[in-house]
Structure 1
Amino acid sequence: MSRESGRHGDGRRTPVLQLDKVVKEYDGDPPLRILHGIDLTVHQGELVAVVGPSGSGKSTLLSLVGTLDRPTSGRVHLDGHDLTDLNDRQIAALRASSIGFVFQQFFLLPGLTTVDNVATGLLYTGESARRRHERAVRALREVGLAHRLDHRPDQLSGGEKQRVAIARALVGRPALLLADEPTGALDSASGQGVVDLLLHLNAQGTTVMVITHDRDLAASFPRQIGVQDGRVAFDLHGDTRTAAVPRSAQGGPG
């Protein structure tokens, strides 16, 4: 069963991400528990917003989903792999191949062109420089930046920089695009453009999970998962694909 098809032979959708009774604690006296038995499944081809206020536990959840940290107890499955069974080197390799990260800040290298910034997403694949360049060009075309291949970050708008970051995240064809407050540093028009791009990429089959504090942004996605006090407070499914302008993108950073 290919990643692109997103379904088993019997018609069931493929889980890209599964959290089973995940608990996260930090050392202390007593220990500080941040996540309290999270159960969560994201299937291939879904577009999901995880929404919650500051201190709700969503950043800790992001670290676990992104394989940047391990749970205190419970299990995390990513792209068919049980992370409990993997050592740190194997997890790093899985992260590189299965997750594309997009952050509020763009983290572009100022001395590189747009296409070279995107190609850095393939540095650890073992592909030739020519092949990395070809794939980077293709990814930039997908996000509407074919006319900005040779520009450097200081020659781009904020929205264009985030599109470059999304292209870099997508260039390796990851199982999951994981975006942390992707519109938080953008004005309203640029933020809307990024939301529209995520909707478009999802319509083409990309699995997208956005972590945000913004309920307006979350409401533009067909599935919203609310996190409160380290627990899943709600998990709503709907059919709407209308992208509202995120409140955090109105008037600048939120």
Structure 2
Amino acid sequence: LNDDSAFTWDNTNKRLVIGTGTSAAYINVFAGALSNATEFIRCSANVSNNMINSLINVSNTSAANAIEAISVGGSGATSNAGDPTIQFTISTVVTTAMGLDNSDSDKFKITPGASLPGGTVNQGLIITNDSAARVGINKDAPLHALDVSGRTMSNVFQNQSTGVTLVAGTGAGTSPTLSSSGHSNFIIIGLTTGTAPALNGDILTVTLGTAFTATCIPVLDGNDTYRANMASFYCTSLAAGSFKIKNRGTALPQNTYFNLYLNIGGY
């Protein structure tokens, strides 16, 4: 190869330069200022098997990563802020775009049916760029660790086994025995009353492991009442992260065991 202003072989550093500039890589393409969409490199073939583009680091003795970098200049919600993007296309129709939405706080998005991440609002997978990242499903502005717009389904939901705090009130008597398992959605409470439970006194104050945004809605085997050992329990003083359990009508019998099952929702 001969030296030329637009096509240069740097024999000292063993680098190829296409265009005008100082090469920072083994192959470097300089195109200057462009106003139209421009394809820089294309690999095209009519093959009957896989097409593979490899980036391989053969060293296994050091923490040297293999990195594919896609970068754009500019940031923020401006009309000229570009998105670093990968497009996945079948038969010349763009089906899914994946990358950072520069105009929406640099959120990472996988957007089906769009040419750019976030090209269709509230569609696909969204991961925020916050220090504690939040994930949205079909929701561009997730408010929680996982925020789903629509129904969800799974084979099973497994609640954490610990995290509830119980404080006995006068309605449980003097020196009652308490136990619990569960967290914020499903709780089993064991209560052995102490001596002389007070009539109309709070039996328990239950504090959840994780609070809801506005209020919790606990259910005791029905709308609000659970009957066990001739007692009629109900929930009251509902708050975002706590509620109280009382007994309707009479004082609880002393030195008596009760097992309470609660399903808890909220908003």
TM-score, normalization: structure 2? 0.19
Q: Whose relative contact order is higher, 1 or 2, with alpha carbons under 8 Å and at least 6 apart?
A: 1
Which structure dedicates a bigger proportion of its chain to helix? 1
Instruction: Compare CA radii of gyration and give the structure with the larger one.
Output: 2
Which structure dedicates a bigger proportion of its chain to strand? 2
